[in-house]
Amino acid sequence: MIDNDWQLIDLITGYQPAAAITTAHRLGVFSVLGRVPRSAGDLAAELAADPSNLVALLEALAGIGLLRREGDRFAATPYTAERLGPGGEMGLVVAKEAVFAGAWSRLDEVVTEGRPVMEPWRSQLDRNPEQARAFLEALDVLARIAGPALHELEALAPGKRVLDVGGGLGTYARPLSEAGSHVTLVDYPLVAGWASEELEGTRVEVVGVDLFEHPSCGVPPGSMDAALVSHLIHDLAEDQAVELLRRVRSAIAPGGHVVVNDFAGDSGPGAFGALFDVMMRIETGGAAHSRKALESMLAGAGFERIRRLPYDDPLTVYIGVRP
């Protein structure tokens, strides 16, 4: 529990370091600043920035621990140079969160009007495909850092025909295929095209289809030994999720497995699940469903022997069997 003003002040000013990092990323500070210290004046000239305010930003970044200060010169830390510098994949995550920060500033609308403020994913794909692809690339980075090693699951084991439902850019399809599973990734046609590029040279088959426009997710009924539904249920309201899981069930042969990987609203640590739930309501109109709700959705779609696999919070992975 928060019980003093200092803790509260820390929380309500939490946007400040985030804004400093985002701004530095946008201005190109992390791109131009390597491990050799440079003067702020030099940097200001290169970035066309106001020298005095740039120094303030650099000082703040040094205070946070993202830059190193040497006299009146600044340099990237080894971590910053590798992860936020040129080619550093955390830049994708910074850019993704900057988009979400704008949407979070409209949370009051979400709460009062009961709908998301971000436009539906399908129209984001049409209207801003570059940003949509960058979002999926950021998800890929995050999953590689923190996602479960799903290719180690027996249900998706080598030799099994696995359907990766809403597989994005192939975050899980790639390691599953490398482990020897026969993977078919299905996603919207535009995303499927990107996935094909990303997965070139692998044995993953890619199908472009709207999952809600095909009774068994774009593959013949009963043609899969297992299906993976990763980070898709939270984009959907409960009734839509059950409808999707029914279609997934149709794709799986009797005795085959469904694996659902998601973040539940009642998972920790701390407020992780609760905040993720708010984010889904801002972003998609879905929800981080509770663990109980995930179980009942799987049962409602006709799966049996549903159980949660023993991953640590916040990972929430359910498995069920098609009877």
Ligand X SMILES: C[S@@+](CC[C@H](N)C(=O)[O-])C[C@H]1O[C@@H](n2cnc3c(N)ncnc32)[C@H](O)[C@@H]1O
User: Least distance in Å: CB of 128 to ligand X?
Assistant: 14
* Phi, psi of 132, rounded to the nearest 5 degrees: -65, -40
71: left (phi over 0), alpha (psi -120 to 50) or beta: left
- 124-138 in b/e form (b: 16+ CB < 10 A) is bbeeeeeebbbbbbb
C-alpha pair distances (Å), 51 with each of 54, 146, 222: 5, 38, 64
Q: Which residue number, 57 or 195, has a Cβ lying nearer to ligand X?
A: 195
Q: In this structure, which amino acid lies at residue 74?
A: F
Size of the site for ligand X (CB under 6 A): 18
If you ran DSSP here, which 8-state letter would residue 120 be given? P
Residue from 133, 231, 247, 257 that binds ligand X (CB under 6 A)? 231
Q: CA-CA distance, 28 to 41, in Å (whole number)? A: 15
Strands 67-70, 73-76: pairing is: antiparallel
Q: Is 232 in the site for ligand X (CB under 6 A)?
A: yes
Size (the chain), residues: 323
Longest Cα–Cα distance in the chain: 69
Q: Is 85 in the site for ligand X (CB under 6 A)?
A: no
User: Least distance in Å: CB of 234 to ligand X?
Assistant: 8
User: Least distance in Å: CB of 4 to ligand X?
Assistant: 38
Residue from 166, 175, 256, 265 that binds ligand X (CB under 6 A)? 166
Q: Which residue is nearest to ligand X (CB)?
A: 166
Binding mask 179-218 for ligand X (x = CB under 6 A): --------xx--x------------------xxx------
- 135-164 binders of ligand X (CB under 6 A): 136, 139, 143
Q: Binding segment for ligand X among 105-113, 225-233, 287-295, 307-315 (CB under 6 A)?
A: 225-233
Q: Which two tokens stand for residue 140?
A: 């890929």
Q: Which residues pair with 228 in a beta bridge?
A: 164, 259
User: Least distance in Å: CB of 288 to ligand X?
Assistant: 12
Binding mask 31-60 for ligand X (x = CB under 6 A): ------------------------------
Query: Which residues make up the interface to ligand X (CB under 6 A)?
Result: 121, 136, 139, 143, 166-168, 171, 187-188, 191, 210-212, 230-232, 235
